[in-house]
Amino acid sequence: QRLHAAHAMIFTLDDHEIADNAWSGGAEEHFAEDGPWESRLHSALEAWEAWQPTVRRPTHGDSLWQLVPLGGCASLFLCDSRWARTDPLAPDGPAKSILGAAQAHALTATLAASRVPWFIVGMPSKFLTLSAADGEKADLVMRTLKLTDSEGRPYHDRWDSYSRERDELMTHLALGASTPVVLCGDVHFAAFSHAGKETGHGVLECVTTS
């Protein structure tokens, strides 16, 4: 109660509120005995609407992403990278998206129109690439932190398997009038990155622990 009294809280959806590694057409932890995916998704979103302090109703067409103006200092665009995304394991290409067409268009249009000093992107999953870990136990570390799976492939919740869309968004972020900062979490470690400096002011990313 003291935390909420002192600080504004703005939240989005996590995949575990539906099923582990959820995407628009299913989830890694959704099986035939669980019933139709559409029913599970609808029921999970109804529970989210009923129990969270929000007036947003995704079951009635409301978006989970939202723009939050922060006075004349900054704008916060809070993204949803769980619900609308296409299959993380599908080949990368023009049809593959972690944001979905409507959200991607809204984000890039808002970026283009932004004139405040800072543009903050709230991203539920890590956006920038992760440098290769050093040391003989790198694979174990990466799996423990849920950054790769047991076969060394990028973990579902990161943007690595959506590289085409990430490159496009990086261009919009780096060339906008506002300085962009990406705030994200979920991957169980803290990090700071600065990428894209060669095409403008670049993109700063701050990753917090869960």
Please give the chain's pLDDT, 210 residues, in tens.
899 899 988 888 888 889 988 899 999 889 999 999 999 999 999 999 999 888 899 999 999 999 999 999 999 999 998 888 999 888 888 889 999 999 999 999 999 999 999 999 999 888 887 653 334 444 555 555 555 555 555 556 678 789 899 999 988 988 888 999 999 887 777 778 888 766 666 788 888 876
Specify the pTM: 0.85
Cα–Cα distances (Å) from 208 to 61, 98, 124, 190, 200, in that order, read 30, 20, 11, 5, 25
Place of tokens 């932890």: 29
For 19-85, strand residue ranges (E) read 22-23, 26-27, 66-70, 74-78
10 Å Cβ neighbour count for 58?
A: 19
208 Cα distance to chain centroid: 13
Quote the pLDDT of residue 136.
Answer: 41
10 Å Cβ neighbour count for 188?
A: 12
For 32-165, strand residue ranges (E) read 66-70, 74-78, 118-123
